[in-house]
């Protein structure tokens, strides 16, 4: 019974402030610092999964993950002895309005303002000393500028930035040890229980940068303008690499085999059969090339190196056709000359015998 009463008292202490308290807060209201909590230092640790989907036409890639944020709010502390040694309490989405939480968002996403802290995907735990731990599920569609020079072994670099877009951001300072890690995708097929990923990219590395905006460094800290420009952020630089295994299986290996077949066709004795065989190989190479083109977005303005190799192979087959026709023509001339010479020899020999 005493424990239940202690918990009730604890929840009552964490409810919204009274009318008198609200008035007192408004008296000391500061237009730059719009919350009571001072120097809210945030430790952040985000765990990204492997890419879940991609859209190269729209230059986006979808990543899911979980974010852990930690800060301290002295107003939420309590004495263990007064509350039956209760060390922590947990809040769900319905209690999000009971205490101050930071306003955080991601940039460089499909949605210009992708707010992180919301009541549907955040779980809060408050320790007796006022330490708040928030666990957030994040789902981002990050904008990437895909380059195709090294396709299909291309490596792309995408980035997103977590920041506080409001004037309270002056009190948010992300710790330098804010980190980002990776784990395998948790999306699984219900029938096979296998990992299901709708993308041909994997994350190879991720780097984090914790800092404040450059504008704040160039301004005097005493001015109100400087306080408004001061903005803490954590930037996540994500490097993704295309797997490309299917590309080599269905494109490069057949192209290589057809190239060898065209060279072998060049050795056929009959000129007509040789030219027809090489022409068939050239048509197959053209089909493979068009299949390669179908995998690329329509607005690609560079020629990948593998496409140049395919174009070289097609040009080689065309040159083989031309050479085989020339050789066939020369062989016919030589054969005709031999026939003429042999005929002349026969006529001369026959005349001498007479």
For residue 103, the number of C-alpha atoms closer than 13 Å in the C-beta half-sphere is 12
- CA torsion sign, 134 to 139 to 145 to 149? positive
Residue 171 confidence (pLDDT)? 58
- Pull the structure tokens for residue 314: 């097609």
pLDDT of residue 114: 65
Could you tell me the pTM of the whole model? Answer: 0.60
R_g (Cα) of the chain, nearest Å: 36
**Confidence at residue 181, expressed as pLDDT on a 0 to 100 scale:** 56
Residue of 257, 250, 259 lying closest to 295 (CA atoms): 250
Rounded CA gap, 229 and 163, in Å?
12
Along the chain (354 residues), what's the average pLDDT of each consecutive run of 10 residues? 47 46 42 45 71 79 82 81 84 65 77 67 82 83 81 80 65 58 45 46 70 46 43 75 70 80 81 84 84 72 78 85 83 66 54 52
pLDDT value, residue 244: 61
Question: Where are the domain boundaries for CATH 1.20.58 in the chain?
Answer: 247-353
Residue of 173, 224, 229, 221 lying closest to 38 (CA atoms): 173
Predicted pLDDT of residue 218 = 46
pLDDT recorded at residue 195? 40
Q: Write out the residue limits of the CATH 2.70.170.10 domain(s) in the chain.
A: 2-18+34-243
Looking at the domain covering 247-353, what would its CATH class be?
mainly alpha
Say which CATH class 2-18+34-243 falls into.
mainly beta
Please list, in sequence order, all residues whose beta carbon lies within 8 angstroms of the beta carbon of residue 37, skipping any fewer than 6 positions away.
73, 74, 75, 100, 171
DSSP 3-state assignment of 113? coil
Which ranges of the chain does DSSP label H, i.e. alpha helix? 2-13, 19-27, 214-217, 224-229, 245-247, 253-265, 271-294, 305-353
């Amino acid at each position: 019974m005493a424990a239940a009463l202690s918990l009730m008292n604890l929840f009552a202490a964490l409810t919204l402030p009274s009318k008198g308290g609200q008035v007192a807060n408004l008296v000391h209201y500061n237009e730059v610092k719009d919350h009571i909590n001072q120097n809210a230092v945030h430790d952040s640790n985000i765990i990204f999964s492997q890419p879940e989907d991609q859209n190269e036409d729209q230059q986006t890639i979808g990543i899911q993950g979980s974010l852990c944020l930690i800060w301290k709010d002295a107003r939420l502390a309590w004495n263990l002895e007064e509350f039956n040694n209760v060390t922590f309490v947990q809040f769900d989405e319905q209690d999000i309005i009971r205490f101050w939480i930071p306003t955080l968002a991601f940039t460089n996403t499909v949605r210009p303002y992708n707010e992180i802290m919301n009541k549907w995907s955040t779980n809060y735990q408050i320790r007796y000393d006022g330490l708040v731990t928030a666990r957030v599920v994040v789902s981002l569609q990050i904008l990437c500028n895909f380059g195709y020079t090294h396709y299909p072994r291309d490596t792309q670099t995408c980035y997103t930035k977590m920041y506080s877009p409001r004037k309270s951001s002056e009190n948010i300072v992300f710790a330098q040890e804010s980190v980002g890690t990776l784990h395998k995708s948790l999306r699984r097929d219900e029938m096979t229980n296998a990992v299901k990923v709708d993308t041909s990219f994997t994350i190879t590395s991720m780097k984090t940068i914790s800092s404040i905006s450059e504008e704040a460094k160039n301004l005097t800290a005493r001015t109100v303008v400087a306080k408004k420009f001061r903005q803490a952020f954590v930037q996540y630089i994500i490097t993704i690499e295309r797997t490309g295994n299917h590309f080599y299986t269905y494109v490069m290996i057949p192209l290589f085999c057809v190239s060898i077949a065209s060279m072998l066709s060049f050795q056929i004795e009959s000129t007509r059969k040789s030219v027809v065989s090489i022409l068939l190989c050239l048509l197959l190479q053209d089909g493979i090339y068009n299949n390669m083109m179908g995998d690329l977005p329509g607005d690609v303005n560079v020629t990948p190196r593998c496409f140049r190799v395919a174009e070289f192979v097609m040009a080689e087959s065309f040159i083989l056709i031309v050479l085989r026709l020339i050789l066939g023509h020369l062989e016919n001339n030589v054969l005709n000359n031999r026939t003429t010479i042999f005929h002349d020899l026969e006529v001369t020999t026959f005349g001498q015998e007479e």
